[in-house]
Amino acid sequence: MDTPVPTHHPRIYPTVSQRYYVAHDTFPGTSNLTIAVIGGIAVALLPGLGPLSGKLADTLGYRPTAVLGALLQSVGYLLASFSTELWHLFLTQSLLVPLGWSLCFFPSMSVIPHWFMRRRANVTGLVSAGCGVGGVALAPVLQAILDGVGFRVSIWNAVLIAVGNICLLRTLTTDTLHAV
């Protein structure tokens, strides 16, 4: 079992990963700044890939785009768990994972106006707040899992959860939009 990394404040995912990589010297000789760039690129690409996400959602549909995003995110995390060199993380956690994030997030936010005619702003605000609350709540959980079972096993568990979510998304949603 790996040595625990103390957590003092809720962190978003890239910060939790960065702290883990540095504390456990996962990539020897790599500076904290270099590892921070991985998370920085990932966070910057989420909104930067929004136009691509929108175009794909318009072309393929909201659900197929979100499923594709979840698959890309899962594959990115799975490949990151096998990273032995820093450039592996750049390809997986700085490119593939945020592409998946973007393909999931923007269609999810864009479909809301199609379902809610009344109180559309309230529902959009609630969903947006849920994304933020989820990120804040997930960080300490991820940190505890990392401390308990290590990087690879925690990522494999996250991939299993993501695959389960893909299955739910495929079975519980429809392609037809209905206004409420």
**pLDDT value for 5:** 33
Q: Which residue has the tokens 């299955």?
A: 167
Determine, yes or no, domain membership for 27: yes
CATH number at residue 146: 1.20.1250.20
Determine, yes or no, domain membership for 125: yes
How many domains does the structure of the chain reveal? 1
Q: What is the pTM of this model?
A: 0.78
Q: Which two tokens stand for residue 32?
A: 């904290």
Q: Of 6, 96, 26, 58, whose CA–CA distance to 177 is shortest?
A: 58
pLDDT digits (tens, 9 = 90+) for 50-91: 999 999 999 998 888 988 998 898 899 889 889 888 899 899
| Cα 86 → chain centroid | 19
Q: Does 4 have pLDDT greater than 50? A: no
Determine, yes or no, domain membership for 17: yes
Owning domain of residue 71: 13-172
Determine, yes or no, domain membership for 94: yes
Determine, yes or no, domain membership for 3: no
CA 139/CA 135 separation, integer angstroms = 6
Determine, yes or no, domain membership for 132: yes
Contact in structure between 67 and 39 (CB atoms under 8 Å): no
Determine, yes or no, domain membership for 2: no
Neighbours of 83 (CB within 10 A): 20
